[in-house]
Each structure stands twice: as structure tokens, then as C-alpha cells.
């Protein structure tokens, strides 16, 4: 016990200057009692209710100890426990007659489920995850009340000590994926990890990465669904997003609405998204290829219209495309950063000026305006934001290829993109794997659990 | 350091790209689209080819009758030479990618068609589906004509020859690939539609037939139509079957023609034509009330059609032209050696022609 006492003294010295470090001493049972906690991390009302009040009611020390140990979060501290860590995790330490007990009295932060704003659905659940890990686990458990659901907790980040939880269905989970996830998390070398995307970045080997290989979602219903598909879910304290591994390319184009709408409506919407994906990737480069290298592949009517509308434009087509793409990216980026109240102003001004005036000033052709709008709108049809950003990046290499080699360049660029995608692995699973745990499999209730 | 260098180089490259576009990179507005070409025979002995190009001047606004174009022409000893010389007359590079119409005058195409169209076949940017035609009085006059409804230069002719936009049975469509096949192949002869500019439009209703490598003669309008129908194109219209005093018009819904070369043993070979026509009555001078009347008319009209078709085939036979490819059918039966080709040339002018028409009138049209 001397060791422990020494450690507490040590901690006390370390934190004595901090205003939120509190050592509360009083006497009861004719003994000295000390209550040590971090004020900023702990819920003082709970301390009062769970620790102080029972003390006053108990006439004997033994009864009080019984009460303390009967609390689920209370534990008797052995010398080996890291006192400092416990304090910083929001535990209150009670030093009583040479023994030390710790009680979890952590103050919850932002534990209300937030509205799903990033990944909205029309008819699905409207609430997303919260910023509190415990609450998030509650949300997932509620949606996946299976005895097979296993939760493992640990911390990442040498400084931030962010608590994360790994969730999986013991029966469905693919062991190789789970092993790899655990291996990668234990091998993390980072000081501060505060967001799901950041964890994703640290967990992937490749430094220069465009496409996300883990699904980032804020929807508990998607998490529950993915658990049933045998995927591994990682939740993190302090962020309303969860990570899912493995994720294939086609998952990123599925929306939770696909489950709530009728069959043919869903098919149409899925088709729409894939067409949108194709348009947003190749349309700008196709414009360059057609106007500057192979005008014969379009109908003569269209060729002459394009030629007519480009007649006054002084710069080559790829400059025109880059200029407009740049403008749209600026517009998207600015409306992202602006406060919600000013946002519409920026888009209106930007849209009007860029669209109308740039064409009237003969900086770009009117066809280009249509293409720009098309590309921007179809980019927004991709349901998962991470993929939407990735696709935005992926079209620029194609533009470069098209400006140098025309249609051949576009085709070659697409083949390269395909090669890259098929080369990608998400935790050992091929990235372009078709229909891995998408609608077909989900809608079936499986008789035998393990396949 | 190395990294910074690389980024700097990349930035520099991108910047240079924007200001130095290079000469291989030619934007669509820096190209002159040749929408139609005309080849005339000039009076100059040394420079027999008079090549005319119709160049589209694109405008952002497209309205009917406002198709702007520019006509330039040049005489030279060959078509490629003429095109090369003409490049010096314009400010932009020619682009033949949208040249869908080539018009010849009668004198150029009369002989040596294979040689004349050689250039068009070898150029990779001239499409195989380019339409060919004969311009009267000259190819240049056809190109010069301004069509009132035309929204884009040269488009009116292309639309006329496209069977999906114009189903007139008087217009025969001849494409470059098909024409070349007919020129090269024994047993089938090429044909070209004749285009005559009229005020504000074109008149395309006749066809010129070739035989043994030379231009023979034109068919009249009605003969053209019947030939067109025999060739089983999708172009169909009304057939006027005058029977007795009654003018009966049948709107053709479906027309199938089966042509066979029959070579019975010990008998004179003959051409067997079987026409299967289904249609509605579109106009009749007399009242048509009962099925019997319809049946009677079917028979009379069928006979009339057979007679007409036979007459047209006789005319074509007399020219020794073979646009229907009867020689190929003969080869299919007898073999394709030189001997057979010679035999066919001997047999063809004397063959009998038997035409049988099955006319099925499906109804009398909508009557109120």
C-alpha cells in the first residue's frame, strides 16, 4: 500500500497546480478519508449521490465499503493499477483506511444522438451516432440485440488516449479481417487521433491513397446491417462516425434508402448513381477529347454546335475545363466552410456569375457550362461522402490524359483507374468484389449462421 | 529538397501547358468542317478534276435557313492535289470527319469509278457511310444550293438520304462502302441517285444505273420507285393501282420482295420475282363496301403491279445493268469462275422475267 500512497503523492505533486485537480479530505469513522478526482472530467452530482451521501447514512465502515464495492463501476485498486490513468479517465479515487477504491463518475460529453446530416435518407432512421462512445455502443446494441455481438474496448493515440470499441458478430465475422484490424490497431503509431477518418488513414499502409478502403458512416442502422454481414465495426469516442471494415467499392454507392424503397425504385436509383459516377468521372475529359482530338465521333449537328459555341473562346479546351472545374471545386469548398446562414449567398453569387457571366464573356463555351453543372450534380449522387471526394480527385488524371492523348487517353486512363481499383485490397478483401454483402444477401434470412 | 524540386517542376509543367498548347492539339473551333464535297470535270485537259468543298461556318445560334457555309473550289490533276492546294485558301485546317456527302457530276463518274473514289476510301477520316450522288447540272450547283429548312450546312442532303428521316421511295441511297463493293464485285452493278437543286430545296427522285463499268442511263421517277421497292429498302409509300376507271391508292405497310434466278433444265432461264405487299387503301374513286370487292381489287391491283415491275425490270435488263445483284445469285448457284461470269453476261439480256404479286389489302382505311 505504501507504493500506492507514494504514487498518489506523486500524482498530487504533478497536478497540484491544476485548478481542476481536486483532493478532498475529511474525517469519518474517526478515520481520514480522501477523495481524489479531476473536476473537469467528473460528474460532481454523481460523486455526491454515490459516494458522499451513502457515507453519511452508513454508521459503520464495513457497511460503507460494502456499498462502495456493490457499485458496478467500483473497483479495489491493486498496486499494479495505473492510478494516473484511472484519474484521467474520469474515475474518482477514494482512499479509506489505507485502501484505495476507484469509482467511475465520468461526465458524459455530447451523448445525445445527432441528426444524420452527412448521410441522409428519406425514409430511414433520422438520427445518427452521438459523440460519446458509450452512447454509440448503446445505439448499436439497441439495433443489434444479439448475444453474438462482441465489443472490445481499447485506446489509441499515445497522447489522446482516445477510447475506441471494436464490435463484431462472433458468428458471422471473418476471422482474417478481424485479426488484421486488431493487428493494425495495435501497431498504430500516432500521438493524437480524434476522428474516424484519421484512424482510417493510420490504419492503411499506403500513404498516397485516393479511394477509401473503410466505410465511414454516421448511421447506426448501417453499422447494425454491416455487423450482420460479418464486418468489423470500429467506434470512437468523440466523433459521431464509425468505421467499417472491410468495405468494397460497391458499398460506397449503396444508400440505406435502398432497403426502404420498392424493388424497381431501388434499381432505378442505383442505376442513377452509377450513371452519375460515370458522368462525373469521364465527362470533363470526354469533352476535351471530343473537342480537341476526335470531333468526328459525335453527330455533325452536335459537332457544329460545339464548334459554334466555342468559336469565341480564346483558350484551349483543357484550360476551359480546368477553369470551370476549379470554379466548381471552389464553390463546393466554400459552401462547406461557410456558416449555414451565408452559404446560399455564396452559391447563388458563384453559380450565377460563373455560369452566366463566364459564358457571356466568352471565357467558356455554353456547352462547358452544361457539362460543369452535370459533373457537379452527378458527383453529389454518391451517397458516401468519402467516395464522393475520392471521385472528385480521380477525374483530374483523366483530364490530363485526355488533353495529351484524346479519346485514347481517356480509355487508357479509365483502364488505369480500373487497374488501380482492382489492385486495392480492403483488409485482404478485393476492393472490386461484386455484391459482397449487399442487398441480395441481406434480404435473405439465413438458416445456418455461418457460411 | 528532391520533393520540392519535383513539385516545382510539376507546377511549371502545368503552367506551361496552359500557355503553350502545342500544334498537335487542335480545338474544334480551329477546324474547318467539310460537310460536303463535289467533284466536277473541268474543261482543262491538264487539270481535269474540279473539286468543290462546302465548309460549315459554325454559329452558336442554330435557326432554320441560317446555315452559314463557304464554298471553295480548285482545279487539279487529282483530288488529293486539289485538297492540298485548297488548304492555302482557308484559315483553318480541314476536317473531313463530318463529310457525309460526296457529289459527282456525270462526266467524272462515267468511267473509272474505282479510281475516282479511291481517295475517299483511303482517307481514314472519311466515313464509309458517306452518301454518294450525282449532281445535275453539276456537283458545284448542288453544293451551292441554299435550302430553306436547313439548320446546319449540308444537313438537308444527309437527312434526305437517311432512311429514318425520309422514307420517300423515290430516293435511293448509295453509300461509299456499298458503292465500292458494287464497283469491285462481278455480278452486281452500282447506282447513284441524281440530285437536282430546285429553288429552296433539292429534287432527288431519279437514279442513274451503271453497267459494265460505265454510266448507262437514268431511270424515270416511277421506275426508280419500283427499283427501290425491289431492293427491299425500308422506303415505302403509296402505289397507285389504276384499275379500269377507278384510281386506287394503296398505302404500303409491308413489302417483301423475293427475287430468284431460275435455271430449269431444258428450258429458258428466267428471273422469278415474288412480291408480297400488305397495305391499306388510302384513296379510291369508287365506294368499297364488301370483302368481295376488296378481293377483286386485290387481284386487279396485283396484276397491275406485276405488269409494272416487269416493265421496269425489262428496261434495266435492256441497259444490261444489274443493280439487284442477279449475277451474284447466278454465281451462288453455278459457281464464281470466269467462265460462269461470261456465261451470265450471255444469258442475262435474254432472260424471261416472271413477276407474281400477292397484294393483301388489310382494310379500307379509317372512315367516319
- Domain assignment present for residue B297? The answer is yes
A 10 A CB-CB count for A19 gives 8
Asked whether residue A245 carries a pLDDT value surpassing 50, the answer given is: yes
pLDDT in tens, A84-125: 778 887 888 888 777 788 888 887 777 788 888 888 888 888
Expressed as residue numbers, the domain containing A386 is: 261-430
Interface size A-B, in CB pairs within 8 Å, comes to: 79
Do B215 and B125 have their domain in common?
A: yes
For the ranges A11-15, A65-69, B111-115, B343-347, which has the lowest average pLDDT?
A: A11-15
For the ranges A189-193, A250-254, B191-195, B281-285, which has the lowest average pLDDT?
A: B281-285
Q: How far apart are CA A68 and CA A94, in angstroms?
A: 10
User: What pLDDT, on the 0 to 100 scale, is given for residue A3?
Assistant: 63
Put simply, whether A325 touches B (Cβ < 8 Å) is no
Do B160 and B305 have their domain in common?
A: no
CA distance B66 to chain A (A): 13
Asked whether residue A276 carries a pLDDT value surpassing 90, the answer given is: yes
For A125-153, give one letter per residue: b (16+ CB within 10 A) or e. Answer: beebbbbbbbbbbebbeebbeeeebeeee
Do A288 and A413 have their domain in common?
A: yes
User: What pLDDT, on the 0 to 100 scale, is given for residue A443?
Assistant: 45
Expressed as residue numbers, the domain containing B56 is: 27-219
Do B160 and B132 have their domain in common?
A: yes
Under the banding of pLDDT at 50, 70 and 90, the label for residue B196 is: very high
Among residues B194, B219, B244, the one where a domain terminates is B219
Percent of chain B scoring above 70 in pLDDT = 95
For the ranges A391-405, B11-25, B82-96, which has the lowest average pLDDT?
A: B11-25
Under the banding of pLDDT at 50, 70 and 90, the label for residue B82 is: very high
Q: Which residue has the cell 468511267?
A: B111
- Asked if B265 and B335 count as a contact pair (C-beta separation under 8 A), the reply is no
Asked whether residue A419 carries a pLDDT value surpassing 60, the answer given is: yes
Residues of A in contact with B59 (CB under 8 A): 308, 311
Asked whether residue B182 carries a pLDDT value surpassing 60, the answer given is: yes
CA distances from A114 to A119, A167, A240, B17 (A): 12, 21, 8, 47
Cβ-defined contact of B155 to A301 (cutoff 8 Å): yes
Under the banding of pLDDT at 50, 70 and 90, the label for residue B23 is: low
Do A238 and A138 have their domain in common?
A: yes
- Domain assignment present for residue A252? The answer is no
By DSSP bridging, strand B101-104 and strand B31-41 are: parallel
- The beta strand positions in chain B, using DSSP E, are 31-41, 49-56, 69-76, 93-95, 101-104, 131-135, 191-198, 201-211, 214-219, 238-240, 248-262, 270-284, 352-363
Find the mean pLDDT for residues A360-381: 87
- The beta strand positions in A278-433, using DSSP E, are 425-426, 429-430
- Domain assignment present for residue B332? The answer is yes
Do B250 and B191 have their domain in common?
A: no
Q: Which residue in B has a C-alpha nearest to residue A405's C-alpha?
A: B25
Find the mean pLDDT for residues A194-202: 87
Q: How far apart are CA B155 and CA B152, in angstroms?
A: 5
- Domain assignment present for residue B5? The answer is no
Asked whether residue A447 carries a pLDDT value surpassing 50, the answer given is: no
Under the banding of pLDDT at 50, 70 and 90, the label for residue A81 is: low
User: What is the tally of structural domains in chain B?
Assistant: 2
Do A297 and A237 have their domain in common?
A: no
Q: How far apart are CA B95 and CA A181, in angstroms?
A: 58
- Domain assignment present for residue B226? The answer is no
For the ranges A32-46, A342-356, A417-431, B41-55, which has the lowest average pLDDT?
A: A342-356
A residues 341-370 near B, CB within 8 Å? 366
pLDDT in tens, B106-140: 888 888 888 888 899 998 888 889 999 999 889 99
Q: Which residue in B has a C-alpha nearest to residue A365's C-alpha?
A: B60
Q: How far apart are CA A51 and CA A236, in angstroms?
A: 29
- Domain assignment present for residue B9? The answer is no
Asked whether residue A55 carries a pLDDT value surpassing 70, the answer given is: yes
Name every residue whose Cβ is closer than 8 Å to that of residue B180 and which is 6 or more positions away in sequence.
B114, B117, B121
- Asked if B273 and B355 count as a contact pair (C-beta separation under 8 A), the reply is yes
Do A281 and A422 have their domain in common?
A: yes
Find the mean pLDDT for residues B88-100: 88
- Domain assignment present for residue A190? The answer is yes
Cβ-defined contact of B98 to A304 (cutoff 8 Å): yes
Among A440, A21, A67, A23, smallest CA distance to A267 is for: A440
Do B279 and B321 have their domain in common?
A: yes
User: What is the tally of structural domains in chain A?
Assistant: 3
User: What pLDDT, on the 0 to 100 scale, is given for residue B245?
Assistant: 66
- Domain assignment present for residue B11? The answer is no
Do B209 and B252 have their domain in common?
A: no
Do A80 and A174 have their domain in common?
A: no
- Domain assignment present for residue B17? The answer is no
User: What pLDDT, on the 0 to 100 scale, is given for residue A287?
Assistant: 92
Do B308 and B334 have their domain in common?
A: yes
Nearest Cβ partner of A316 from B27, B95, B153?
B27
Asked whether residue A76 carries a pLDDT value surpassing 60, the answer given is: yes
Cβ-defined contact of A318 to B62 (cutoff 8 Å): no
The length of chain A, given as a count of residues: 451
Asked whether residue B277 carries a pLDDT value surpassing 60, the answer given is: yes
- Asked if A233 and A172 count as a contact pair (C-beta separation under 8 A), the reply is no
For the ranges A170-179, A330-339, A349-358, B151-160, which has the lowest average pLDDT?
A: A349-358
Do A325 and A358 have their domain in common?
A: yes
Do A141 and A209 have their domain in common?
A: yes
Do A417 and A273 have their domain in common?
A: yes
pLDDT in tens, A151-177: 998 888 888 888 899 999 888 888 888
Comparing B15 with A201, the larger pLDDT belongs to: A201
Among B122, B104, B124, smallest CA distance to B48 is for: B104
User: What pLDDT, on the 0 to 100 scale, is given for residue B19?
Assistant: 63
CA distance A313 to chain B (A): 9
Find the mean pLDDT for residues A202-210: 81
For the ranges A117-126, A387-396, A439-448, B327-336, which has the lowest average pLDDT?
A: A439-448
Task: Give me the sign of the Cα torsion angle B248, B249, B253, B257.
Answer: positive
A 10 A CB-CB count for A364 gives 25
Do A372 and A269 have their domain in common?
A: yes
Among residues B177, B193, B219, the one where a domain terminates is B219
CA distance A378 to chain B (A): 26
- Domain assignment present for residue A375? The answer is yes
The B-side interface with A (CB below 8 A) comprises 17-18, 21, 25-29, 31, 33, 35, 56, 58-62, 95, 97-98, 100, 125, 127, 151-155, 158
Q: Which residue has the cell 507546377?
A: B11
- Domain assignment present for residue A118? The answer is no
Cβ-defined contact of B27 to A308 (cutoff 8 Å): no
Comparing B41 with A351, the larger pLDDT belongs to: B41
Q: Which residue has the cell 437514268?
A: B218
Residues of B in contact with A326 (CB under 8 A): none
Edge-to-edge strands, sheet with A232-236: A149-156, A162-169, A232-236, A242-245, A215-217
Under the banding of pLDDT at 50, 70 and 90, the label for residue A451 is: very low
Under the banding of pLDDT at 50, 70 and 90, the label for residue A450 is: very low
Q: How far apart are CA B204 and CA B196, in angstroms?
A: 6
User: What pLDDT, on the 0 to 100 scale, is given for residue A445?
Assistant: 47
- Average pLDDT score over chain A: 83
Cβ-defined contact of A307 to B62 (cutoff 8 Å): no
Do A303 and A393 have their domain in common?
A: yes
Under the banding of pLDDT at 50, 70 and 90, the label for residue A134 is: confident
Cβ-defined contact of B27 to A291 (cutoff 8 Å): yes
Name every residue whose Cβ is closer than 8 Å to that of residue B63 and which is 6 or more positions away in sequence.
B151
Residues of A in contact with B150 (CB under 8 A): none
- The beta strand positions in A347-441, using DSSP E, are 425-426, 429-430
Q: How far apart are CA A54 and CA B183, in angstroms?
A: 110
CA distances from B257 to A140, B164, B189 (A): 72, 20, 19
Among residues B190, B219, B248, the one where a domain terminates is B219
Q: What is the C-alpha radius of gyration for chain A, rounded to an integer number of angstroms? A: 29
Do B145 and B167 have their domain in common?
A: yes
Put simply, whether A61 touches B (Cβ < 8 Å) is no
For the ranges A257-271, B3-17, B322-336, which has the lowest average pLDDT?
A: B3-17
Nearest Cβ partner of A300 from B26, B62, B100?
B100
Asked whether residue B248 carries a pLDDT value surpassing 60, the answer given is: yes
Query: Angle formed by the axes of helices B291-319 and B221-230, to 10°?
Result: 100
User: What pLDDT, on the 0 to 100 scale, is given for residue A438?
Assistant: 45
Nearest Cβ partner of A310 from B21, B26, B29?
B29
Cell triple for residue A327? 470554379
Cβ-defined contact of B60 to A319 (cutoff 8 Å): no
Percent of chain B scoring above 90 in pLDDT = 21
Do A410 and A273 have their domain in common?
A: yes
- Domain assignment present for residue B300? The answer is yes
We report the CATH number of the domain holding residue B269 as 3.30.300.210
Amino acid at each position: 500500500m505504501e507504493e500506492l500512497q507514494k504514487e498518489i503523492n506523486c500524482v498530487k505533486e504533478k497536478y497540484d497546480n491544476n485548478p481542476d485537480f481536486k483532493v478532498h479530505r475529511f474525517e469519518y469513522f474517526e478515520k481520514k478519508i480522501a477523495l481524489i478526482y479531476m473536476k473537469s472530467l467528473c460528474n460532481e452530482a454523481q460523486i455526491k449521490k454515490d459516494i458522499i451521501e451513502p457515507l453519511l447514512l452508513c454508521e459503520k465502515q464495513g457497511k460503507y465499503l460494502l456499498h462502495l464495492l456493490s457499485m458496478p463501476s467500483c473497483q479495489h485498486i491493486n498496486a499494479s493499477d495505473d492510478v494516473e490513468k484511472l484519474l484521467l479517465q474520469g474515475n474518482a479515487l477514494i482512499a479509506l483506511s489505507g485502501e484505495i477504491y476507484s469509482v467511475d463518475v465520468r461526465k458524459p460529453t455530447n451523448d445525445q444522438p445527432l441528426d444524420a446530416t452527412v448521410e441522409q435518407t428519406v425514409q430511414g432512421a433520422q438520427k445518427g451516432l452521438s459523440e460519446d462512445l458509450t452512447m454509440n455502443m448503446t445505439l448499436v446494441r439497441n439495433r443489434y440485440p444479439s448475444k453474438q455481438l462482441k465489443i472490445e474496448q481499447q485506446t489509441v493515440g499515445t497522447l489522446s488516449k482516445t477510447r475506441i470499441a471494436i464490435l463484431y458478430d462472433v458468428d458471422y465475422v471473418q476471422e482474417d479481417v478481424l485479426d488484421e484490424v486488431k493487428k493494425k490497431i495495435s501497431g498504430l503509431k500516432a500521438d493524437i487521433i480524434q476522428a474516424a477518418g484519421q484512424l482510417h488513414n493510420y490504419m492503411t499502409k499506403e500513404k498516397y491513397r485516393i479511394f477509401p478502403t473503410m466505410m465511414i458512416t454516421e448511421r447506426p442502422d448501417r453499422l447494425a446491417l454491416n455487423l450482420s454481414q460479418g464486418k468489423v465495426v470500429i467506434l470512437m469516442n468523440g466523433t459521431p462516425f464509425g468505421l467499417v471494415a472491410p468495405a468494397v467499392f460497391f458499398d460506397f454507392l449503396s444508400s440505406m434508402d435502398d432497403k426502404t424503397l420498392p424493388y424497381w425504385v431501388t434499381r432505378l436509383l442505383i442505376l442513377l448513381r452509377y450513371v452519375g459516377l460515370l458522368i462525373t468521372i469521364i465527362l470533363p475529359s470526354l469533352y476535351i477529347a471530343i473537342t480537341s482530338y476526335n470531333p468526328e465521333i459525335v453527330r455533325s449537328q452536335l459537332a457544329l454546335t460545339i464548334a459554334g459555341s466555342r468559336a469565341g473562346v480564346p483558350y484551349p479546351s483543357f484550360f476551359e475545363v480546368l477553369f470551370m472545374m476549379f470554379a466548381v471545386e471552389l464553390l463546393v469548398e466554400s459552401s462547406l466552410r461557410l456558416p449555414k446562414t451565408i452559404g446560399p449567398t455564396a452559391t447563388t453569387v458563384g453559380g450565377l456569375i460563373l455560369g452566366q457571366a463566364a459564358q457571356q464573356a466568352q471565357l467558356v463555351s455554353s456547352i462547358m457550362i452544361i457539362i460543369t453543372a452535370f459533373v457537379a450534380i452527378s458527383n453529389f449522387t454518391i451517397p458516401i461522402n468519402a467516395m464522393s471526394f475520392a471521385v472528385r480527385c480521380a477525374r483530374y488524371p483523366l483530364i490530363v490524359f485526355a488533353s495529351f492523348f484524346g479519346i485514347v487517353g481517356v480509355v487508357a486512363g479509365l483502364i488505369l483507374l480500373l487497374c488501380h481499383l482492382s489492385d486495392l485490397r480492403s483488409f485482404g478483401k478485393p476492393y472490386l468484389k461484386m455484391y459482397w454483402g449487399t442487398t441480395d444477401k441481406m434480404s435473405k434470412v439465413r438458416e445456418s449462421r455461418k457460411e | 529538397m528532391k520533393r520540392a524540386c519535383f513539385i516545382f517542376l510539376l507546377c511549371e509543367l502545368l503552367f506551361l501547358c496552359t500557355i503553350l498548347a502545342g500544334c498537335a492539339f487542335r480545338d474544334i473551333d480551329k477546324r474547318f468542317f467539310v460537310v460536303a464535297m463535289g467533284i466536277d470535270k473541268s474543261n482543262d485537259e491538264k487539270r481535269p478534276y474540279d473539286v468543290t468543298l462546302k465548309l460549315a461556318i459554325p454559329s452558336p445560334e442554330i435557326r432554320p435557313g441560317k446555315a452559314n457555309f463557304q464554298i471553295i473550289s480548285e482545279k487539279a490533276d487529282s483530288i488529293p492535289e486539289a485538297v492540298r492546294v485548297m488548304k492555302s485558301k482557308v484559315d483553318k485546317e480541314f476536317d473531313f470527319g463530318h463529310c457525309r456527302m460526296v457529289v459527282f457530276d456525270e462526266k467524272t463518274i462515267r468511267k473509272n469509278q474505282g479510281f475516282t473514289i479511291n481517295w475517299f476510301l483511303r482517307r481514314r477520316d472519311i466515313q464509309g457511310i458517306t452518301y454518294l450522288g450525282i449532281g445535275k447540272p453539276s456537283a458545284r450547283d448542288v453544293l451551292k444550293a441554299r435550302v430553306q429548312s436547313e439548320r446546319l450546312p449540308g444537313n438537308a442532303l444527309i437527312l434526305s438520304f437517311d432512311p429514318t428521316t425520309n422514307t420517300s421511295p423515290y430516293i435511293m441511297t448509295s453509300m461509299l462502302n456499298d458503292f465500292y463493293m458494287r464497283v469491285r464485285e462481278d455480278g452486281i452493278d452500282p447506282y447513284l441517285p441524281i440530285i437536282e437543286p430546285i429553288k429552296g430545296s433539292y429534287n432527288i427522285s431519279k437514279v442513274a444505273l451503271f453497267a459494265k463499268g460505265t454510266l448507262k442511263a437514268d431511270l424515270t421517277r416511277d421506275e426508280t420507285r419500283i427499283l427501290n421497292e425491289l431492293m427491299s429498302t425500308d422506303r415505302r409509300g403509296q402505289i397507285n393501282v389504276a384499275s379500269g376507271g377507278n384510281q386506287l391508292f394503296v398505302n404500303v405497310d409491308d413489302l417483301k420482295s423475293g427475287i430468284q434466278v431460275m435455271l430449269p433444265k431444258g428450258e429458258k432461264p428466267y428471273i422469278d420475282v415474288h412480291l408480297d405487299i400488305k397495305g391499306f387503301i388510302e384513296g379510291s374513286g369508287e365506294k368499297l363496301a364488301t370483302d368481295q370487292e376488296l378481293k377483286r381489287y386485290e387481284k386487279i391491283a396485283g396484276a397491275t403491279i406485276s405488269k409494272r415491275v416487269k416493265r421496269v425490270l425489262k428496261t434495266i435488263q435492256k441497259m444490261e445493268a444489274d443493280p439487284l445483284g442477279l449475277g451474284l445469285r447466278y454465281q451462288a448457284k453455278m459457281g464464281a469462275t470466269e467462265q460462269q461470269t461470261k456465261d451470265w453476261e450471255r444469258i442475262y439480256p435474254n432472260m424471261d422475267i416472271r413477276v407474281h404479286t400477292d397484294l393483301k389489302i388489310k382494310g379500307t382505311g379509317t372512315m367516319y
